């Protein structure tokens, strides 16, 4: 734990070393007191709020209602989560007990760039090519790759990240379809069923909520074109993993590239080389040669981290300003 004593207080939980360094560097510009710990917020470390009304939490750990209640009793009124989504916090419950929860904006280019990389890797069977090359098997694959310009790409969710993906796709001259309950950009919006049936590749960029959990379920995955690819850099639970596995193992889909996976908690952001992974669904996905899994790292760039730290402090001060205004 580290404290920087300057003024208005913010407690920073679940803070990695690189984040902590940036927080300490930026604190003097804002005139804030920071209490920094690498431990996730829990009932056991509520005292680290030290009477602060604002705290910041990471996106890796779900915060139970009991902890939210303890935070409220300790006088916390604002939680800034260092992520775009806030599905790891019961926002409605927090609101009922007097706590406002907000995410932070950061460079959408980080996830958009990564999404395009995963698209290209998926349609060129990059994982199997790399695995063979590492084993010194340099023969060409039996399956030829595809070019994006010959494909129809379906973008589900056109907020800041989805819009950044659309911007990049224009450079590939592919056909693009989009689905969003609130259309925001000048692109060809269609109903979700039509997008799934027409797209050669589907990419997910919608927030996770009760309404979007398992947005791609068994019936919807069955609507996807035979041989289609799925890219997910949104949230793992947007996809019903069992339904996806059925389509992949049965050969109906061409492949998937997943930076987020349902049930990733306790797997991603940990070293599991010496500890077996218990999730059979995860292991089945990982064994498939046409599935690429990366550990929720699309956001992880220097620019995005700067944005997250800056906007965390800014949002907390904005909240404090409104409270005193």
pLDDT at 324 over 70: no
Alpha carbon distance 90, 67 (integer Å): 11
262 carries an active-site annotation: no
Which residues, in sequence order, are CB contacts of 87 under 8 Å at separation 6+?
207, 208, 209, 235, 237
Numbered ranges of CATH 3.40.50.720 in the chain: 2-107+302-324, 108-293
Residues 265-294, mean pLDDT to the nearest whole number? 95
Alpha carbon distance 162, 18 (integer Å): 27
- 157 pLDDT band (50/70/90 cuts)? very high
Please tell me the total number of residues recorded for the chain in this structure.
325
Q: List the one residue out of 207, 177, 171 whose CA is nearest residue 81.
A: 207
Q: What would the pLDDT profile of 102-129 be if each residue is shown by its tens digit? A: 999 999 999 999 999 999 999 999 999 9
144 carries an active-site annotation: no
In this prediction, residue 12 carries a pLDDT of: 96
Range 2-107+302-324 classified under CATH 3.40.50.720: yes
> In the sheet that 8-12 helps form, which strands lie side by side, from edge to edge?
2-4, 32-36, 8-12, 54-57, 78-81, 100-103
Annotated catalytic residue within 146, 296, 310, 320: 296
CATH architecture of the region 108-293: 3-Layer(aba) Sandwich (3.40)
Q: What percent of the chain has pLDDT over 70?
A: 97
- 276 pLDDT band (50/70/90 cuts)? very high
Which residues, in sequence order, are CB contacts of 195 under 8 Å at separation 6+?
154, 156, 177, 178, 179, 202
Contact 156, 206 (CB under 8 A): yes
Alpha carbon distance 211, 197 (integer Å): 21
Q: What would the pLDDT profile of 31-82 be if each residue is shown by its tens digit? A: 999 999 999 999 999 999 988 999 999 988 889 999 999 999 999 999 999 9
Residues 217-231, mean pLDDT to the nearest whole number? 98
Please report the sign of the dihedral spanned by the C-alpha atoms of residue 174, residue 108, residue 283, residue 195. Answer: negative
In this prediction, residue 5 carries a pLDDT of: 41
Q: What would the pLDDT profile of 183-214 be if each residue is shown by its tens digit? A: 888 899 999 999 999 999 999 999 999 999 99
Q: Which residues pair with 91 in a beta bridge?
A: none
264 carries an active-site annotation: yes
- Token pair 């000048």: residue: 186
Alpha carbon distance 65, 3 (integer Å): 27
Annotated catalytic residue within 53, 146, 235, 310: 235
Q: Which residues pair with 65 in a beta bridge?
A: none
Annotated catalytic residue within 82, 264, 310, 320: 264
In this prediction, residue 323 carries a pLDDT of: 65
In terms of C-beta density within 10 A (0-12 exposed, 13-18 middle, 19 or more buried), how is residue 213 classed?
middle
Q: List the one residue out of 283, 290, 259, 285 whose CA is nearest residue 116.
A: 259
pLDDT at 6 over 70: no
Half-sphere exposure of 277 (CA within 13 A, CB side): 19
- Strand ranges inside the chain, DSSP E: 2-4, 8-12, 32-36, 54-57, 78-81, 100-103, 152-156, 175-179, 201-204, 229-232, 255-258, 291-293
């Amino acid at each position: 734990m580290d404290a920087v004593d300057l003024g208005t207080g913010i407690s920073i939980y679940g803070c990695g070393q690189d984040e902590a360094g940036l927080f300490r560097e930026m604190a003097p510009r804002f005139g804030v007191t920071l209490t920094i710990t690498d431990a996730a917020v829990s009932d056991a470390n509520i005292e680290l709020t030290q009477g602060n009304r604002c705290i910041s939490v990471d996106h890796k750990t779900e915060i139970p209602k009991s902890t939210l209640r303890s935070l409220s009793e300790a006088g916390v009124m604002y939680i800034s989560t260092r992520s775009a989504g806030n599905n790891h916090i019961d926002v409605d419950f927090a609101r009922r007990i007097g706590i406002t929860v907000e995410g932070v904006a950061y460079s959408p280019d980080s996830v958009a760039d990564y999404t395009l990389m995963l698209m290209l890797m998926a349609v060129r069977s990059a994982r199997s090519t790399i695995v063979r090359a590492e084993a010194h098997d340099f023969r060409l694959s039996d399956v030829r790759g595809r070019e994006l310009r010959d494909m129809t790409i379906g973008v589900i969710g056109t907020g800041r990240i989805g819009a950044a993906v659309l911007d990049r796709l224009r450079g590939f001259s592919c056909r693009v379809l989009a689905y969003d309950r609130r259309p925001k950009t000048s692109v060809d919006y269609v109903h979700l069923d039509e997008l799934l049936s027409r797209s050669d590749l589907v990419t997910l960029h919608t927030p996770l909520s009760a309404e979007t959990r398992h947005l791609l379920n068994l019936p919807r995955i069955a609507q996807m074109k035979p041989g289609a690819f799925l890219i997910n850099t949104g949230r793992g639970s947007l996809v019903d993993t069992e339904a996806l596995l059925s389509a992949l193992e049965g050969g109906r889909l061409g492949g998937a590239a997943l930076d987020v996976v349902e049930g990733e908690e306790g797997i991603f952001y940990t070293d599991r080389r010496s500890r077996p992974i218990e999730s059979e669904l995860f292991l089945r996905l990982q064994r498939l040669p046409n599935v690429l899994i990366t550990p929720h790292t699309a956001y992880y760039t220097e620019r995005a981290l700067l944005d997250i730290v800056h906007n965390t402090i800014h949002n907390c001060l904005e909240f404090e300003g409104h409270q005193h205004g």
